[in-house]
Amino acid sequence: MVVVMSPDATDEQIAHVVERVESVGGEAFVSKGVVRTIIGLVGDIDSFHHLNLRTLAGVADVHRISDPYKLVSRQHHPDRSTVWVGPAGHQVPIGPDTFTFIAGPCAVESKEQTAEASRMAQSAGATIIRGGAFKPRTSPYAFQGLGLAGLEILAGIREATGLPVVTEVVDPRDVPMVAEHVDMLQVGTRNMANFGLLQAVGEAGKPVLLKRGMTATIEEWLMAAEYIAQRGNLDVVLCERGIRTFEPATRNTLDISAVPVVQAASHLPVIVDPSHASGRKDLVVPLSRAAIAVGADGVIVDVHPDPETALCDGPQALLGAELRELAQAVRRLPEVVGRAPAGVLAQRG
């Protein structure tokens, strides 16, 4: 941390800052310039925050130098992490050496629709199935998901396909029940800053897929991941799903640069959701190719056997030719960037 004194700061004011820093066990290095004095602080950053240094007389500004997140930072853990999803013997990696393809229906609508969407996903090469049983919709009048009945359908899909399943949880009270039925817990864009929910999934003992808040900065997103890690769960996969901008041509704007930016800052895997980012099925394949090229650790894509009748997000769901094109892209392109498609139990011995 660096304290910048104002040009007219007195020697007493500088000495007072040093004294306050030393009172909490820190060290203060004073550097006097022609116009200004700056003071470099070394020690426990949290104790410096309690000093409210900005309020001291003569202080013009206080700058943080190190990242505010610790456990998820690459400063803390330089090697990129792999998160393994699924029960022992059926795990799928998400990490730097592989490319993981996750697909399934946006919402679990019925046993038949979920089974058919999962079959489409699996035959296109997906090795993790997605599907929402709790749908956090913008309108309270829109389909809210089947709840527990949906979780039971997903547990059946897990049995039938032998693939791990990821589903969203929206209420901290539901976390144990959701964790009992699926392999990975999703925190959606609307709940990225729901700190009680983040803490609850941090204690659930299952990997977490943490979507970026639609108006969250990368730092806020990583701080949300830190909430989960701080409760003892470092099995967190980040998901860039588009952010709100002024551009109405797509539902959100896919922030593709977030992928390498996050990978430089954090050791956690990062995947891309081109379906929720664009809201348009014609963009899912090109954005998936972009995700692979930029170095994403995977994609998560909506598929539906009959998008016209879908209860949620039909316009972005793939089937037919587009799904075949996506299957080809996720099979062939990862190799170009030095990755293998992530199969069930691809590497862990």
Convert residues 175-194 into a mask of x (bound to ligand PEP by CB under 6 A) and - (unbound).
-------------xx-----
* Residue with smaller CB distance to Mn ion, 37 or 278: 278
Q: How far apart are CA 72 and CA 69, in angstroms?
A: 6
Range in contact with Mn ion (rule: CB under 5 A) among 151-159, 246-254, 309-317, 341-349: 309-317
**According to CB under 5 A, which one of 71, 129, 313, 346 is a site residue for Mn ion?**
313
Q: Which one of ligand PEP, Mn ion, none interacts with residue 181, CB within 5 to 8 A by kind?
A: none
* Residue with smaller CB distance to Mn ion, 106 or 165: 106
| SS3 annotation, 166-210 | EEECCCHHHHHHHHHHCCEEEECHHHCCCHHHHHHHHCCCCCEEE
Residue 87 makes CB contacts below 8 A (sequence gap 6+) with 164, 183
Q: What distance, in Å, lies between the first and last C-alpha atoms of the chain? A: 44
Helix (H/G/I), strand (E/B), else coil: 204:
coil
Contact between 106 and Mn ion (CB under 5 A)?
Answer: yes
Per CB under 6 A, which of residues 125..144 are in contact with ligand PEP?
Answer: 132
Least CB distance to Mn ion at residue 146 (A): 15
Contact between 211 and ligand PEP (CB under 6 A)?
Answer: yes
Convert residues 102-121 into a mask of x (bound to ligand PEP by CB under 6 A) and - (unbound).
----x---------------
Contact between 281 and ligand PEP (CB under 6 A)?
Answer: no
Contact between 150 and ligand PEP (CB under 6 A)?
Answer: no
Per CB under 6 A, which of residues 153..172 are in contact with ligand PEP?
Answer: 168
DSSP tag of 319: -
Of 136, 132, 173, residue with least CA distance to 153: 132
Range in contact with Mn ion (rule: CB under 5 A) among 90-98, 166-174, 208-216, 308-316: 308-316
One-character DSSP codes across 72-128 = TBTTT--SPP-EEESSTTS-EEESTTEEEEEEE-SB---HHHHHHHHHHHHHTT-SE
Residue appearing with tokens 């104002």: 6
Number of residues interacting with ligand PEP: please give it, by CB under 6 A. Answer: 9
One-character DSSP codes across 53-71 = GGGSTTEEEEE--S-S--T
Contact between 279 and ligand PEP (CB under 6 A)?
Answer: no
Buried b (16+ CB within 10 A) or exposed e, 5-21: beeebeeebbebbbebb
Assess contact for 2 and 41: CB atoms under 8 A. yes
Least CB distance to Mn ion at residue 139 (A): 13
* Residue with smaller CB distance to ligand PEP, 126 or 346: 126
Using CB under 6 A as the criterion, which residues of the chain lie in contact with ligand PEP when the complex forms? 106, 132, 168, 188-189, 211, 241, 273, 276
